[in-house]
Amino acid sequence: MVALALVAAGVGVLVVLQRNLVNSAGLQAEVAAREVATQVAVGTPVDHLDLPDEDDRPVQVVDADRKVLSADDDLHHAPPMADFARAPHPEGRSDGDHGDHGDDDDEDDAPARGSVADHAGFRTVTLRLHHDHPAGQDFRVAGLLATTPEGRTVTVYAGSSLDTERQAVGGVRDAMLLGLPALVLVVALVTWLVTRRALRPVEGIRAELAEIMGGDLSRRVPQPASRDEVARLARTTNATLAALETSVERQRQFVADASHELRSPIASLRTQLEVARAHPELLELDGLIEDTVRLERVASDLLLLARLDAGERPRAERLDLAELVRDELAHRIGDRLPIAVTLPDAAVPVEASRTQLARVLGNLLDNAQRHAGSTVRVAVRPGAAGTVALDVTDDGPGVPPDDRERIFTRFIRLDDARTRDEGGAGLGLAIVRDVVQRHGGHIEVGDAERGGARFTVTLPAAPPTP
């Protein structure tokens, strides 16, 4: 790519250089033609004209009949140096923008007596003036009309050699051709060195990641002191490793807590079965059923949390939140305390999974029944800005402000003196928050008006049907 760019730039430089040199030669030719034309205009005889002596600046004075009146020795008996389609005209100076030299009666093209045309015409021609140029020599020729005081119109041709232009362009071209490979080689070497140095931290990051993948997630990749893309890559990689370490640690803790929770009912079941085998008369079916139900509940909670962690999207359907609360309360049996219900008369539509929302309501009611003193309250109400709210309130001791975020952590119990059978496995509120968040809502814990705790679940309201 660098070589192509340099070649394109070199061609452009050569074209501009050649054009400037040709224009400079044309200017020199015009100056020489104007000097001779001025002599003609003031009445100097054609055989006494002061012509340039340089070999690279030939001059011819031609009359209207294309007869050479005055010229250098090499051009005196030669035809005119250049033929222009039109004579020089004040409206243009480009090649071919001139009139017929032989038209003496053309008052528009011929200047007044004793004057010189304002504009000259130009053309590049090849002339053979010297034996050292057997193929001829290129000249930039300027043609200029001049009128003697007697009214005779002549054309003055003056040329300027283009050898200088050819040599200059050739020298620059040769220098470019010689310097281009060396320049491309230097650019390639510098690019390789700079790229290797810039990517050296990337190799360090790769090597450290290869070591970290061996199992030690506490290590971090080296972070350069620069403020470039590599440094940002290192920072992002370290942040990713920190998040991965936290996730793995959380997973390990989850597995350990789950194993601990499952071990207790399994050990209790085994003990009761072994006692029943040795002493059938001591078999307690109620205890076996209770431990089995608890084991089933813990397994169900763990399975739901695993699905939520895996990113499983709930199957949403349009349902009435107030109707769902009525149905779930009608199916609850064995509650320790009565449940007071406050529901609106109008429907409260939401788009959610009925099974998972029923699980949220059931876990909140179980938590309230466990801590309430005399009553549990449930209310459904419209929320703010297109939301609906579900409130579950109890009149128990409430939740301290410092623990209102901690209670949603898995396997957390605030009352350490509470037995596991009474306090549950510590997964209910964690499931509530995860399910609510999967539905685009959030849950808050506050103080009830009559004392106790109030759990408020806020969900997006379903859009109105057509």
Q: For 167-182, how does the pLDDT look when each residue is reduced to its tens digit (9 = 90+)?
A: 888 898 888 888 888 8
| Residue 128 pLDDT class (50, 70, 90 cuts) | low
Q: Is 229-309 CATH 3.40.50.10860?
A: no
Q: Where in the chain is the domain with CATH 1.10.287.130?
A: 229-309
Between CA 26 and CA 32 the distance in angstroms is: 10
β-pairing, 376-382 vs 339-342, is parallel
Average pLDDT value for residue range 204-214:
83
Q: Which residue has the tokens 């349009």?
A: 318
Lowest-confidence range among 24-28, 222-226, 339-343, 452-456? 222-226
Q: Which residue has the tokens 């390990």?
A: 252
Between 291 and 458, residue with greater pLDDT:
458
Residue 455, pLDDT > 90, answer yes
Phi first, then psi, for residue 101 (nearest 5°) are -70, -25
Between CA 353 and CA 328 the distance in angstroms is: 14
Tokens (6 digits) for 188: 């390639």
Give pTM, 2 decimals.
0.50
State what percent of residues in the chain have pLDDT above 90: 17
Between 182 and 134, residue with greater pLDDT:
182
Closest CA to 377 of 388, 387, 389, 369: 369
List, for residues 366-388, the tens digit of each pLDDT value: 999 988 989 899 999 988 888 99
Between CA 168 and CA 18 the distance in angstroms is: 8
Largest Cα–Cα distance of the chain, in whole Å?
Answer: 155
Between CA 276 and CA 281 the distance in angstroms is: 7
Closest CA to 87 of 47, 121, 48: 121
Residue 107, pLDDT > 50, answer no
Average pLDDT value for residue range 407-428:
62
Residue 306, pLDDT > 70, answer yes
β-pairing, 317-320 vs 349-352, is antiparallel
Closest CA to 48 of 137, 148, 129: 148
Residue 94 C-beta-side C-alpha neighbours within 13 Å:
1
pLDDT for residue 460 = 92
Residue 265, pLDDT > 80, answer no
| Residue 450 pLDDT class (50, 70, 90 cuts) | confident
Between CA 64 and CA 106 the distance in angstroms is: 11
* Annotation: CATH topology of 317-460: Heat Shock Protein 90 (3.30.565)
Average pLDDT value for residue range 182-198:
89
User: 2-169 has which CATH code?
Assistant: 3.30.450
β-pairing, 349-352 vs 115-116, is unpaired
Lowest-confidence range among 299-308, 354-363, 436-445? 299-308
Q: Where in the chain is the domain with CATH 3.30.565.10?
A: 317-460
Long-range contacts: 220-228, Cβ < 8 Å, 24+?
228/198
Between 158 and 304, residue with greater pLDDT:
158
Between 62 and 82, residue with greater pLDDT:
62
| Residue 424 pLDDT class (50, 70, 90 cuts) | low
Between CA 429 and CA 364 the distance in angstroms is: 7
Closest CA to 439 of 463, 461, 465: 461
pLDDT for residue 390 = 94
pLDDT for residue 378 = 94
Between 427 and 323, residue with greater pLDDT:
323
First CA to last CA distance, the chain: 61
Question: What average pLDDT does the structure give for the chain?
Answer: 81
Distances (CA, A) of 319 to 220, 331, 390: 49, 18, 14
